């Protein structure tokens, strides 16, 4: 398996893994007081990263 084929397998895994983390950040934000907005921002950034990963996967 060459690197491009390997990435075709890895990227969907990374997206799913990131999605799980983002949901966890959002859940913890509900309990985080002053840190809530930072956790929500972290979740938004993870979602943005996933969009970049999706674009990368489309270009492979």
For helices 36-59 and 3-29, the axis angle rounded to 10 degrees is 160
pLDDT of residue 38: 98
3-state helix, strand, coil in the chain (%, to 5): 90, 0, 10
> Which DSSP symbol is given to 32?
-
Residue 26: C-alpha distances to residues 5, 29, 33, 57 (Å): 33, 5, 12, 26
- What pTM did the predictor assign? 0.89
Average pLDDT, the chain: 98
pLDDT of residue 33: 96
């Amino acid at each position: 398996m060459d690197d491009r084929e390997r990435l075709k397998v890895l990227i969907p895994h990374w997206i799913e893994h990131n999605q799980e983390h983002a949901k966890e950040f959002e859940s913890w934000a509900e309990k985080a007081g002053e840190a809530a907005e930072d956790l929500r921002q972290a979740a938004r950034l993870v979602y943005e990263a996933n969009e970049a990963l999706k674009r990368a996967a489309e270009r492979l």
